[in-house]
């Protein structure tokens, strides 16, 4: 009888080999020893079959072992040798790193034709469940249930239902045109290596950037208390306690001499914009430029109107960089920014272009930070490591929230609603032009604004 042991990895293969050599185990039959169990390593099952070895060891991830009477062969998996395998011991760690929302909790969540991602083989399409007979010929059938996945060139992969954790949702924008990987081509491994390298590169860049910010001295802003009080008086509302605390914390950071990196989190309409306006005033009065990054052109336009209204009585020049501006207007703005003639610059992603050269940048304000990528937000920080950063959001992304909770970023919460603010009401109605027209006209007649989501 020939015996072949399949290990999960090359490292485990070596560990199993050493284990047998140190144990002095002997193969026997009916109480009679036959030969010592000293496994010989092979590159694959085919190499073992060609050899005359009685006891072999290969790297092959099999779920169950089997017997092959015609070849007088017994195949044993690592899972059958030990109560737990290396893969099972790593399962806790892997499951923590996986996105829980991407995992399938139940097979009923899968629909025929859905694109899925196998952790070892890449993107395929789910084609349902099939029963396969795993028993050798002429023996009693042993049926197991498998997920049927189809890959490029109609290649088929059967995944045991016990390995459902290896199959996750496809997160692409268009599931119907999901690009299927080719089995055995190495495409998926290459894509994973490339993604891992990009993650490492980004992590290294961010580590270097935050390390530089930690050791460098920032700019300690100075301003006239009288002028600041006059600017604050132009705020037409009474500050809420949380809002006042956030403003005080931001100004404290800006005057401390240490680069500020503060996250201000608050619901829509709770006063985050006023915090940004006060910070802008302190920066400009301190002789520095302010860059305000907005995710959309519409929001950038609204910010321009708000900032111009609040700074109307002050010698401050505000410019906008967005697609609403002509090439001539943008070039004029870029020239003013480079010469230091523009004090506050409000824009979308154009702020991050290489053409934007700041003369004396001191404060970066990122609005709705969850709508920007890591590289986009940190591109402005990279301009100067000592620049102050103020981030505004109603829904912080996990990375930003985690950094704030761990103390890597300062954190202010505005949880108090403004006085006399009414609670938001949500109505669900049957679709109809009459209902839409009535709601829009009612809001316009009362002097309000309408935000229409058409799609």
Mean pLDDT, rounded, for 63-81? 85
- Give the count of beta carbons closer than 10 Å to the beta carbon of residue 12: 18
Q: Which range, 19-33, 198-212, 257-271, 373-387, is most confident?
A: 257-271
DSSP bridge partners of 347: 293, 321
Distances (CA, A) of 174 to 114, 115, 119, 170, 320: 11, 10, 20, 9, 34
- CATH classification number, 2-87, choose in 3.10.20.30, 3.40.50.2300, 3.90.25.10, 3.40.50.11140: 3.40.50.11140
Q: What confidence score (pLDDT) does residue 454 get?
A: 73
The domains of the chain are located at: 2-87, 99-185, 216-424
pLDDT tens readout for residues 101-153:
555 656 677 888 889 999 888 899 999 888 888 888 888 888 888 889 999 98
Give how far Cα 98 sits from Cα of 91, 94, 141, 178, 244, Å.
Answer: 10, 6, 36, 21, 40
CATH architecture of 99-185: Beta Barrel (2.40)
Q: Give the 3-state secondary structure percentages of the chain, helix then strand then coil, rounded to 5.
A: 40, 20, 35
Measured CA to CA, the distance from residue 448 to residue 441 in angstroms comes to: 10
Q: What does the pLDDT look like over 402-445, one tens digit per residue?
A: 666 666 667 888 887 777 677 677 888 888 888 889 999 999 99
Contact 304, 342 (CB under 8 A): no
CB 130 within 8 A of CB 145: yes
Residue pair 411/404 in contact by the 8 Å Cβ criterion: yes
- The yes or no reply on domain 216-424 and CATH 3.40.50.300 is yes
Distances (CA, A) of 71 to 26, 33, 48, 136: 21, 21, 12, 12
Per-residue model confidence (pLDDT) at position 44: 82
| CB contact at 8 A, 161 and 129 | yes
What is the rounded CA–CA span in Å between residue 239 and residue 151?
59
181 SS3 class: coil
* pLDDT tens-digit map of 331-388: 999 999 999 999 999 998 888 888 889 999 999 998 876 666 666 656 655 655 678 8
Same fold for the pair 2-87 and 99-185: no
CA distance 38 to 25: 8
- Give the whole-angstrom CA distance, residue 67 versus residue 145: 20
pLDDT digit string, tens, across residues 220-262: 899 899 999 999 998 888 888 999 999 999 999 999 888 888 8
Rg (CA), the chain: 32
What letter does residue 194 receive in the DSSP assignment? H
What is the model's pTM?
A: 0.53
């Amino acid at each position: 009888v020939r015996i072949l042991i399949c290990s999960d990895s090359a490292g485990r293969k070596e560990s199993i080999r050493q284990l047998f050599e140190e144990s002095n185990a002997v193969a026997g039959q009916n109480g009679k020893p036959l030969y010592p169990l000293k496994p010989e390593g092979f590159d694959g099952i085919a190499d073992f079959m060609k050899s005359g070895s009685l006891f072999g060891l290969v790297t092959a991830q099999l779920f169950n072992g089997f017997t092959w009477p015609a070849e007088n062969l017994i195949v044993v998996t690592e899972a059958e040798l030990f109560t737990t395998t290396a893969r099972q011991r790593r399962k806790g760690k892997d499951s923590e790193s996986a996105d829980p929302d991407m995992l399938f909790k139940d097979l009923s969540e899968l629909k025929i034709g859905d694109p899925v991602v196998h952790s070892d083989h890449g993107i395929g399409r789910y084609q349902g469940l099939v029963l396969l007979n795993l028993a050798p010929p002429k023996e009693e059938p042993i049926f197991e249930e498998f997920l049927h996945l189809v890959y490029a060139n109609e290649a088929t992969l059967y995944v045991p239902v016990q390995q459902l954790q290896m199959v996750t949702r496809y997160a692409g924008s268009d599931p119907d045109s999901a690009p299927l990987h080719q089995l055995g081509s190495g495409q998926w491994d290459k894509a994973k290596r490339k993604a891992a390298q990009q993650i490492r590169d980004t992590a290294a860049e961010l580590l270097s950037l935050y390390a530089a910010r930690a050791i460098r001295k920032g700019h300690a802003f100075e301003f006239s208390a009288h002028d600041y009080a006059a600017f604050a008086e132009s705020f037409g509302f009474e500050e809420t306690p949380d809002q006042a605390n956030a403003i005080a914390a931001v100004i404290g950071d800006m005057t401390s001499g240490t680069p500020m990196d503060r996250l201000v989190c608050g619901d829509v309409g709770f006063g985050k914009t006023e915090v940004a306006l006060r910070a802008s005033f302190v920066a400009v009065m301190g002789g520095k430029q302010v860059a305000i990054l907005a995710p959309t052109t519409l929001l950038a336009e609204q910010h321009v109107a708000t900032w111009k209204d609040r700074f109307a009585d002050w010698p401050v020049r505000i410019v906008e960089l967005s697609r609403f501006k002509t090439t001539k207007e943008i070039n004029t703005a870029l020239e003013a920014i480079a010469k230091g003639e523009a004090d506050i610059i409000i824009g979308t992603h154009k702020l991050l272009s290489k053409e934007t050269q700041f003369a004396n940048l001191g404060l970066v304000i990122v609005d709705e930070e969850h709508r920007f990528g890591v590289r986009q937000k940190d591109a402005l920080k990279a301009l100067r490591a000592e620049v102050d950063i103020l981030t505004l959001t109603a829904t912080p992304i996990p990375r930003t929230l985690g950094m704030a909770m761990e103390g890597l970023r300062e954190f202010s919460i505005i949880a108090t609603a403004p006085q006399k603010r009414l609670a938001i009401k949500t109505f669900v109605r049957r679709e109809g032009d009459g209902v839409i027209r009535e709601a829009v006209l009612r809001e316009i007649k009362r002097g309000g604004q309408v935000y229409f989501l058409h799609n």
